[in-house]
Amino acid sequence: MEEKAISIRGLGKKYLLGVGGGEKYRAFRDVLANSVSGIFKRREKKKNQEFWALRDVSFDVEPGQALGVIGGNGAGKSTLLKLISQITEPTEGEIRIRGRVASLLEVGTGFHPELTGRENIFMNGAILGMTRAEIKKKFDDIAAFAEIEKFLDTPVKRYSSGMYVRLAFAVAAHLEPEILLVDEVLAVGDVQFQRKCLGKMEDVSKQDARTVIFISHNMDAIRRLCRRVVLLENGRIIMDGGADCVIDSYLTLNSKDRGVDTLKNKIDQLPADPAFRLKDIDIRQSGKSTLQPLASREVEIKFNYDVLETRKKLFVSFELKDMDGKVLMESFHNGSETDPTVYKGTYTSTAVIPANLLLPAAYELVMYFGVFGDRNFYKPISVLLDVQSDGKSNMVYMIRPLGGKIALPVKWETKQLRSN
């Protein structure tokens, strides 16, 4: 108990949702009016709805440990950080913290557009909990890290958004608390700067042995920075363990059939054709239907259909397009058969896209059904294939996504011939 950096027991945070839902603030005149009218008629007391953003959360963090917190939107991740950083008060439970805490809930907090870069560094440093002496000592490092030395005396409002973000992160990155809370800061800046930030974060947690709690949707970043991960869902911890194990189960849990139902609807509403009946399209990975497959595993596209009339060059085909609408590839179900005739009957055709060929990016999958040179049975059916990263590949260069449209499975071999 004594050596823990953070120790949380039975933590809970309750919010009251107003009955109206939409109204956030009360108006003083309404309160006055209500209490006056309340004298004349007894009003039924409106009950506020309770909502537990976080409940029964308990865990410890060892000093120097980097803990990742993941979970879907509204799982309670940000509430947890707000409680630890004392921005809001818990409804129940207790947090014990040993050491100075600094939180980076959003970079650039307290920046004032009228003030110069120099003034904002001091301002922001003070807000984040640095003393004047500390800021002075690190001032040059901060300016250099942000690459804004030339613009130190320019008001921040004239900065480009990139410069603004760089400066903001630079100040935050030079904090030296024992415990650092980070929420999604890596979503900012250009790719190069993101890498720089990640590197800095890595230094903080690994070399300086500082305790870090890191919240992110970026599984690559979490996997890289944290050895232990806590998974939250609906305000409760549902998993706590090694990063790989928790992230993997989160990703499988998360790849529920978003969009799969829409595809089924599209198929149900297709017009009837005398020659062809499409019964089902199933896009699957690891035995489950999904439109958010992982890049690291095979994707199967399974077509179930009836051919009602024997025809030559009857085809089922698909294209993959990038988000700019450019066709990346095209494939026919019987393209390599010797007999172009498709006979009457019930069929299943399965196309397999090999593992590690798609990038973690969005693709459009467009499927065609017709008789070549004659007609298409339907308008093409198109779905969005949102390929996910499992964070295991490309660990060193975390540019996301990698350049290009697809990932060619390139074989690398590097030998060290001599160590000089």
Partner 1 sequence: MNSDYIKIIRPKRGLVNINFKELWQYRELFWFLALRDILVKYKQAVIGIIWAIIQPILTMIIFSVIFGSLAKLPSDGVPYPIMIYVALLPWHFFANSMTASSQSVVGNSALLTKIYFPRLIIPTSAVISGVIDFCISFLVLIGMMIWFHVVPTGNVVFLPLFLLLAFSTALAIGFWLSALNVEFRDVIYTIPFLVQAGQYLSPVAYSSSIVPGKWKLLYSLNPMAGVIDGFRWCLLGSVAPNWTSIAISSVSVFFLFVSGLFYFRKMERTFADII
Helices 191-202 and 161-173: crossing angle in degrees, nearest 10, is 0
User: What does the DSSP 8-state code read for residue 274?
Assistant: S
Name the minimum Å distance from CB 147 to partner 1: 24
Name the minimum Å distance from CB 30 to partner 1: 9
Which residue from 91, 252, 254, 334 is in contact with partner 1, where contact means CB under 8 A? 91
Output 178 or 273, the one with its CB closest to partner 1: 178
Indicate whether 110 belongs to the interface with partner 1 (CB under 8 A).
yes
Contact 96, 6 (CB under 8 A): yes
The strand pairing partners of 280, in sequence order, are: 304
Which residue from 59, 72, 115, 307 is in contact with partner 1, where contact means CB under 8 A? 115
3-state secondary structure of 197: helix
Radius of gyration of the chain (CA): 28
Which residue from 97, 167, 246, 278 is in contact with partner 1, where contact means CB under 8 A? 97
Output 26 or 227, the one with its CB closest to partner 1: 26
Contact 395, 296 (CB under 8 A): no
Closest Cα partner for 224 from 253, 252, 195?
195
Indicate whether 96 belongs to the interface with partner 1 (CB under 8 A).
yes
Which one of the spans 83-91, 140-148, 221-229, 258-266 is the region binding partner 1 (CB under 8 A)? 83-91
Output 101 or 361, the one with its CB closest to partner 1: 101
Indicate whether 86 belongs to the interface with partner 1 (CB under 8 A).
yes
Which residue from 52, 60, 72, 105 is in contact with partner 1, where contact means CB under 8 A? 105
Q: How far apart, in Å, do the first and last CA atoms of the chain sit?
A: 48
Indicate whether 95 belongs to the interface with partner 1 (CB under 8 A).
yes
Contact 185, 193 (CB under 8 A): no
Which residue from 66, 70, 75, 83 is in contact with partner 1, where contact means CB under 8 A? 83
Q: What is the dihedral of CA 36, 37, 41, 44, to 10 degrees?
A: -100
Output 44 or 89, the one with its CB closest to partner 1: 89
- β-pairing, 314-321 vs 327-332, is antiparallel
Q: What is the dihedral of CA 169, 170, 175, 180, to 10 degrees?
A: 30
Indicate whether 58 belongs to the interface with partner 1 (CB under 8 A).
no
Indicate whether 90 belongs to the interface with partner 1 (CB under 8 A).
yes
Output 121 or 387, the one with its CB closest to partner 1: 121
Listed in sequence order, the residues at least 6 apart from 72 whose beta carbon sits closer than 8 Å to its beta carbon are 233, 254
The sign one gets for the Cα dihedral 79, 80, 81, 82 is: positive
Which residue from 37, 48, 131, 310 is in contact with partner 1, where contact means CB under 8 A? 131
Output 178 or 202, the one with its CB closest to partner 1: 178
Which residue from 56, 64, 109, 378 is in contact with partner 1, where contact means CB under 8 A? 109
Output 13 or 224, the one with its CB closest to partner 1: 13
CA distance 420 to 417: 9
Output 15 or 378, the one with its CB closest to partner 1: 15
Q: What is the dihedral of CA 393, 399, 400, 404, to 10 degrees?
A: -90
Output 132 or 312, the one with its CB closest to partner 1: 132
Query: Residue 361: enclosing H or E segment and its boundaries?
Result: none
By CB under 8 A, the residues from 139 to 168 that bind partner 1 are 155
Interacting residues toward partner 1 by CB under 8 A: 15, 24-29, 31, 82-101, 103, 105-106, 109-110, 112, 114-115, 119, 122-123, 126-129, 131-132, 155, 178
